[in-house]
Amino acid sequence: MSDERARGGTPEQAEEELRRQEPSGLKQNLFYWLQALVVALVALTVVFTFFGRIVVVVGHSMDPTLNNGELLILRSIGYEPEQGDIVVLNKYTSPALKGEAIVKRCIATGGQTVSIDYAAGTVTVDGQVLDEPYIKEAMRDPSLVNSNMTITEVTVPEGSIFVMGDNRNNSTDSRHAQVGTVDERYVLGKAVLVLFPLDRAGLLPW
């Protein structure tokens, strides 16, 4: 028996056999990748259905903390709002929001008293002036441009929160008479992570 027969045929025959095997190997690899993708999609669906959700930031009321168009992951199940959290409120919160879910910062929770001093540019909760390094700029007196922004002092009812945007001069929030304090049942969840764009991806600092 020749060396060629010992190897199972001529080099040309061996090459032909490899060509016949390649499609089968590619199909098998593709099948495994599809299986992995399906499992990952199912896992993500379960996670976001029962434990959280994904939302898109619309508008500039949370500049510079969050930018228009950014993709956020929320913590939803079992979440109770706390002071300082960034929360998403659903589209039914107030007619003044024009049917859109909005992203705001929780300034105070039930039982706390909020006082806003536009002259000093401060927000006080239960007598304590808040340290707010996240705001875009100092607050201007809204009465100069918006007569509907009338709430400057309020005690938040139990089961409700007081919210404001970080871009104080471009935000429809609890300072507006049409919005006011927000029932916690309107809170979709806490924003915990920027998912997209990639250069901004990561856990939120506050």
User: Cα-Cα-Cα-Cα dihedral of 145, 127, 192, 90, to 10°?
Assistant: -50
2 part of the active site: no
What CA–CA distances, in Å, run from 30 to 18, 20, 37?
18, 17, 10
What single letter denotes the amino acid at residue 119? A
| Active-site annotation holder among 94, 104, 136, 174 | 104
Residue 32 CA neighbour count, 13 Å, CB half: 5
CA pair distance 94, 119, nearest whole angstrom = 28
Q: Where are the alpha helices (DSSP H) in the chain?
A: 3-6, 11-50
Q: How far apart are the first and last CA of the chain?
A: 78
Active site residue 98: no
Which residue type occupies 104?
Answer: K
Q: Which of the following is catalytic: 61, 94, 160, 171? A: 61
What's the CA gap between 12 and 7, in Å, rounded? 12
Q: How far apart are CA 183 and CA 94, in angstroms?
A: 10
Per-residue tokens: 101: 């879910």
Catalytic machinery residues:
61, 104
